Amino acid sequence: MEVDNDNKDTMKSKKSIGFFDKRSTQYGTNSILLIVAVLGILILVNYIAQKEVYRVDVTKNKQYTLSDQTKNVLDQVDEEIKIIAFYTDSTGAKQEVQDLVEEYKALNSNITLEFIDPDKNPGTARQYGISRYNAIIIEKGDKSEELSSATESELTSGILRLVKDDTKKVYFLTGHGDKSVTSTEQTKAYGMIKNELEKQIYTVEELSIISTQGIPEDAAVVILAGPTVEISDKEKEVMRDYIVNRKGKVLFLFDPLIDTSAGLNMGDFLNEFGLAYKDGVVIDQAQGYYGDALTPVVQKDGFESHQITQKQELVYFPGVSNAGKAESVPEGWAVTELARSTATSWLESDTTKTEVGFGEGDIEGPVSLIAVAQEVVPTDQKEGEESSDDKDSARIVLVGDSDFALDAIIGSDIGLFNRDLFLNMVNWLTADEDLISILPKEAVTSEVALTGTQSKVIFCLIVFGMPAIFVVVGIVVIVRRKRKSNKEHA
């Protein structure tokens, strides 16, 4: 009996060994181990993904990346700001608002979000004066604003207006054929610039100092954009008093006067502050917009280090003259040239020439296109005296072009760079350097424009080409199968 038991144990052991030696068993074991390993990796990756979130924005204009200005504005938020969104539970747009605000909350915990369904809570909606779906209210203490849309631009602008306790007045001068914030004429319209300024902390009005004989006390910035006639001595006297005695802030934007023989008569006036404007047209054959030598493009290496241009990627000027530093800068003023054309460019002084080429009287590049002048703050004050703040000093920006900020240009994709530059110049003038940055981007709808020929080609490829490919592939497969079958029977 004992021998039989030993034989049985030996047989069981051999069967067990045989079972594990089987190829199917080994494959099965390997499969189980592989599945366990894959599951372990997936669990680990999922855990890491929850702890560390990495996002890549692949949209054309980085639409889902918060702008520098939004980040700067959020740095100033030290009290709770409530975002109240009146969205129904069933609307898909609710998630878009949630995603956007989550980005804000990640940068500042003082930002909160609450959704209210106006159908379920009509009393609350009436309390906030809401009469439409998808309305958004932002609150800070007893101050509130309703946004026109759920975009980064609107949300950041609304927060900025709540954070800043006061607004500043910007005046655009009129009476010289200037650019206008109320005009709809394509060559004059500055309406989009007005809207962008009002999204920040500014209110915008037009002003004729010929009629008023003065500049209002509430003027934070005065802008003379694209005059086409001579500036009178009386107007220059008013502006001089504003700059020197009231520490005023002025933005001058002058165009090459190609279509008129009259000058602006501003040379001596600008020299008083260390600035110089030379009429003419900058020709830049090396770096023109889409090859247009009359539309120079300034890229990063063409900007001087300054608060206005520190974030600037590029800007383009559709017809620009020389705006730079005077040969002699008066004591008490500091002047910086901010943007220059390329070294191979030049300032064409004779705008009546039919052939483009460097000639007598022209100025070799690089040519300065933007210059800023600032009153120098004394640093050697006597003991007991308070030092003046350079934010209260007079500031001037001179640009050799005004067309770069027209509605027709600002409204284009690349025109956003021009918009940023204009607004950053105003922000620097008002000493709101914390607003100088790359502004929030609007959503861009990508469109493909096809010619008639291209449309026909695509139509033929889809309707005839793709079916033909499947037919050919099918025929090839059938022929190969028949050949293979014939070989096997042979």
pTM: 0.70
Q: Say which CATH topology domain 168-378+388-435 has.
A: Rossmann fold (3.40.50)
The residues of the chain that CATH labels 3.40.50.880 are: 168-378+388-435
Q: Where in the chain is the domain with CATH 3.40.30.10?
A: 68-147
User: What is the rounded CA–CA span in Å between residue 334 and residue 325?
Assistant: 10
State the CB neighbour count (10 A cutoff) for residue 1.
5
CATH fold label, 68-147: Glutaredoxin (3.40.30)
Per-residue pLDDT tens digits of the chain, which is 490 residues long: 444 555 555 555 555 555 555 556 666 677 788 888 888 888 888 777 666 555 666 565 566 678 887 888 898 899 999 999 999 988 888 888 999 999 999 899 999 999 999 999 999 999 988 888 999 999 998 888 888 788 888 898 888 888 887 789 999 999 999 999 999 998 899 999 999 999 888 999 999 998 888 999 999 999 999 999 999 999 999 999 999 999 999 999 999 875 444 578 899 999 999 999 998 999 999 999 988 999 999 999 999 999 999 889 899 999 999 999 999 999 999 999 999 999 999 999 887 776 778 888 889 999 999 999 999 876 554 443 434 456 789 999 999 999 999 999 998 878 889 999 999 999 999 988 767 665 555 555 555 556 667 778 888 888 888 888 888 888 988 888 888 777 766 6
Answer whether 147's CB lies under 8 Å from 136's CB. yes
Gap between the Cα atoms of 169 and 217, Å rounded = 10
